[in-house]
Chains A and B, each alone.
Chain A
Amino acid sequence: MSKEVLTGAQAIIRSLELLGVDTIFGLPGGAILPTYDPLMDSKKIRHILVRHEQGAGHAAEGYASASGRLGVCLATSGPGATNLVTAIADAHMDSVPLLAITGQVGSKLIGTDAFQEADIVGITMPITKHSFLVTDANDIPEVISAAVLIATTGRPGPVLVDITKDAQNQKFDFVWPPKVELPGYKPVTKPHGKQVQAAAEMISKSSKPIFYVGGGIVRAGAAKELLELAELVGAPVVTTLMARGAFPDSHKQNLGMPGMHGTVPAVIGLQRSDLLITLGARFDDRVTGDAKSFAPDAKVVHVDIDPAEIGKIRHADVPIVGDLKEVIPELTAELKKIYGTKTHDLTDWWSAMNHLVEHYPLGHDAPEDGKLSPQAVIKRIGELSGPEAIFAAGVGQHQMWSAQFIKYERPNAWLNSGGAGTMGYSVPAAMGAKVAQPDRLVWSIDGDGCFQMTNQELVTCAINNIPIKVAIINNSSLGMVRQWQTLFYDKRYSNTDLHTGTDSLMIPDFVKLADAYGCLGIRVEKEEEIDAAIKLAIETNDRPVVIDFIVSRDAMVWPMVAAGVSNDEVKYARDAAPVWEGEE
């Protein structure tokens, strides 16, 4: 046990160093100033100065999602702290291990409406896994340790630590390691043996099983374990938006993404299944459609580390609480005992699925307005970058196309804001990912709407030598909203025109903007220029690159299940429902 006299501020930095934190994204201000002083001397922590605290939050998320490690962001009190709120909410929805440290006004000023005072603990209570207010430096080592433990174990999530300015300035005896006592926090990781047996038996008896794989596989680092189990059973696999890459797209068992914009085989596969082997997924409304009519004939095995997810939306016939990394190998072992030398005969099930795979592949039309096809652009980015690259999307049409048309072969290659749907996630998340994994090629695939929310972080990238590539899928509009207006609002395009296209006001001009930010800007309007631009972006590593792809605004995301209706109503394209030639 070590003991020395430190200030609270020094203790914050020392604790983070001792806990293995190597990167912080942040921006200083009055109430966090004491902590920025010792941070300047830290040899172990790289601080990246962002241009907006939201960028720090998403960058920490990107760092965490690309590496599987904790992401850390730092901000001052009041507006600094409230600017983190969107990123914290995002991390909460997508179970991202995030530590947010904020300065708070002096403890004697709390509650007086002091300058830059905001009750950030109160504000973030519903969107954090836990939060702490520290008013005494003696608590700092324990609180920081507890916060890291809570953020990274069990179901990961954001933890906020708000530290008053006087606590940061207070001298005290720093003792390490601290005693961390969390009597109410005991995540169950080891599954109940009998439940695992019951699940194995149910799987072995099923004739139309399907693996419904969620982002939990990625967070648990259980992709390898999943591959072994899936190959043993031989059943179809669907990977949700949060789980793209958790199971290789090139694998013949992979039917793609389910849900509102899922593939026809994935949507109908779930719908007609007799057993959903649900691994780290949470029956999100974007996956189930109308939950009452979702997979009506299926029994459910539901494995999750969060007991509150089990039975929340859909009854689980076999509930298993545990860490997927521990549960799946046990399930595989049980199944091996049951199968013995036999294999699971799923011939009929596969012939029905293969029919769908053959007849309803993902596809898209060539735009009629002569502009680029957004799907084709995104597909080429994926093909030319390869499976070792990282792709961070914003939210909307380009996000769905990136989930559909890029082939993911490994977990942590696909980053996006799935639960919260945060426009503006992409650029800072890509920045965080590139910091965590500097040797990987990192793409931000963004929309012209999303890009305008957080593109100031390109400055951070340019100055700190973080050469990300940004592909703006520029359809000069809020594309997904426009698509809904086309389909459900009689083509009345209320407030969705952004005027960023080449045949409009073109404000801003993204190429000029890139230039102003110290990035290489490229505009692509012709199909034959696509490959060259992507290759140039990949080769340019002395600064970030922004490619402005001028795409058709009439392109739509298909397939689609309209909001709130049954997944049986999936449309392959407009007015084109797939024909189910199953056994009924």
Chain B
Amino acid sequence: MSKHVLSILVEDKPGLLTRVAGLFARRGFNIESLAVGTSEIEGLSRITVVVAVEGAPLEQVTKQINKLINVIKVVELDPEAVQRDHMLIKVKTDAATRSQVLEAVTLFRARVIDVVSDAVIIEITGDTSKCAAFIKILEPYGIKEMVQSGVLAMGRGSKSITEKVSK
């Protein structure tokens, strides 16, 4: 199984996410990560999906997604594309551990966005491996709560997947 990152440009219609997610489920494709948001074109949303499949079924995935009426375009991003996860992590701290946690935050270029006497909330953005490494460092202190976005991805260079898409 190999991971593939798909960028899907869709019309912003009700039920669209259900259509895409349902398609993955019923065709037996596994979603590893999913992120949805507006694009730079009004009325169009952009979905980033990380899917784990063998080579040939991936073609089936993209063809089936393309068949959805509200899907404008499906692009498989190359592995070199910019890929970022965004996480919020609530870590247990006390007077003794706080400085060590803050040191880790600095090392990973993360940010503290909330502090109370016995915990901090940290925000980190990075690729999946960087985020995973950061979590490993924080685990000994006690992670109370964690939330993360799906992977956001964009191809490098000046090209855009919305080129040739009428506004």
**Bound-state Cα–Cα, A122 to B17, Å:** 12
Please, which residues of chain A bring their CB within 8 A of the CB of B59?
311
Asked if A576 is at the interface (CB within 8 A of a chain B CB), the reply is no
Q: Are A183 and B166 in contact (CB under 8 A)?
A: yes
Asked if B11 is at the interface (CB within 8 A of a chain A CB), the reply is yes
The stretch among A36-44, A123-131, A217-225, A480-488 that forms the contact with chain B is: A123-131
Scan B1-39; emit 1 where CB is below 8 A from any A CB, else 0: 000000000110011001100110010000000000000
Given contacts A183-B11, A184-B10, contact A311 B56 (CB under 8 A): yes
Asked if A291 is at the interface (CB within 8 A of a chain B CB), the reply is no
Q: Are B69 and A129 in contact (CB under 8 A)?
A: yes
Q: Are A308 and B64 in contact (CB under 8 A)?
A: yes
Which residues 86-142 of A have a CB within 8 angstroms of B? 121-122, 125-126, 129-130, 133
The count of residues in chain A whose C-beta lies closer than 8 Å to any C-beta of chain B is: 17
Please, which residues of chain A bring their CB within 8 A of the CB of B165?
183
Please, which residues of chain A bring their CB within 8 A of the CB of B69?
129-130, 150, 182, 184-185
Most buried by A among B14, B63, B66, B72: B63
Asked if B128 is at the interface (CB within 8 A of a chain A CB), the reply is no
**B72 contacts which of A184, A307, A311 (Cβ < 8 Å)?**
A184
Asked if A312 is at the interface (CB within 8 A of a chain B CB), the reply is yes
For the complex formed, measure the closest distance between the CB of A191 and the CB atoms of chain B, giving whole angstroms.
Answer: 17
Q: Are B72 and A183 in contact (CB under 8 A)?
A: yes
Given contacts A125-B19, A308-B60, A311-B59, contact A184 B14 (CB under 8 A): no
For the complex formed, measure the closest distance between the CB of B33 and the CB atoms of chain A, giving whole angstroms.
Answer: 22
Asked if A330 is at the interface (CB within 8 A of a chain B CB), the reply is no
Q: Are A184 and B70 in contact (CB under 8 A)?
A: yes
Asked if A306 is at the interface (CB within 8 A of a chain B CB), the reply is yes
Please, which residues of chain A bring their CB within 8 A of the CB of B18?
122, 125
Q: Are B22 and A126 in contact (CB under 8 A)?
A: yes
**Bound-state Cα–Cα, A420 to B105, Å:** 57
Q: Are A133 and B166 in contact (CB under 8 A)?
A: no
Scan B143-167; emit 1 where CB is below 8 A from any A CB, else 0: 0000000000000000000000110
Q: Are A133 and B15 in contact (CB under 8 A)?
A: yes
Please, which residues of chain B bring their CB within 8 A of the CB of A311?
56, 59-60
For the complex formed, measure the closest distance between the CB of A82 and the CB atoms of chain B, giving whole angstroms.
Answer: 18
Given contacts A182-B69, A308-B67, A311-B56, contact A121 B15 (CB under 8 A): yes
Q: Are B15 and A307 in contact (CB under 8 A)?
A: no
**Bound-state Cα–Cα, A182 to B10, Å:** 11
**Bound-state Cα–Cα, A150 to B69, Å:** 9
Q: Are B63 and A184 in contact (CB under 8 A)?
A: no
Please, which residues of chain A bring their CB within 8 A of the CB of B23?
126
For the complex formed, measure the closest distance between the CB of B8 and the CB atoms of chain A, giving whole angstroms.
Answer: 10
Known: A184-B68, A308-B67; 8 extra A-B contacts, CB below 8 A, are: A125-B15, A125-B18, A125-B19, A125-B22, A133-B14, A306-B67, A308-B64, A311-B59
Give the B-binding residues of A (Cβ under 8 A).
Answer: 121-122, 125-126, 129-130, 133, 150, 182-185, 306-308, 311-312
Please give me the 8 A-B residue pairs with the lowest Cβ-Cβ distance, nearest first. A308-B63, A130-B69, A184-B72, A184-B71, A185-B69, A126-B26, A307-B63, A308-B64
Selected A-B contacts with CB under 8 Å, 6 pairs: A125-B22, A133-B14, A150-B69, A183-B11, A184-B71, A307-B63
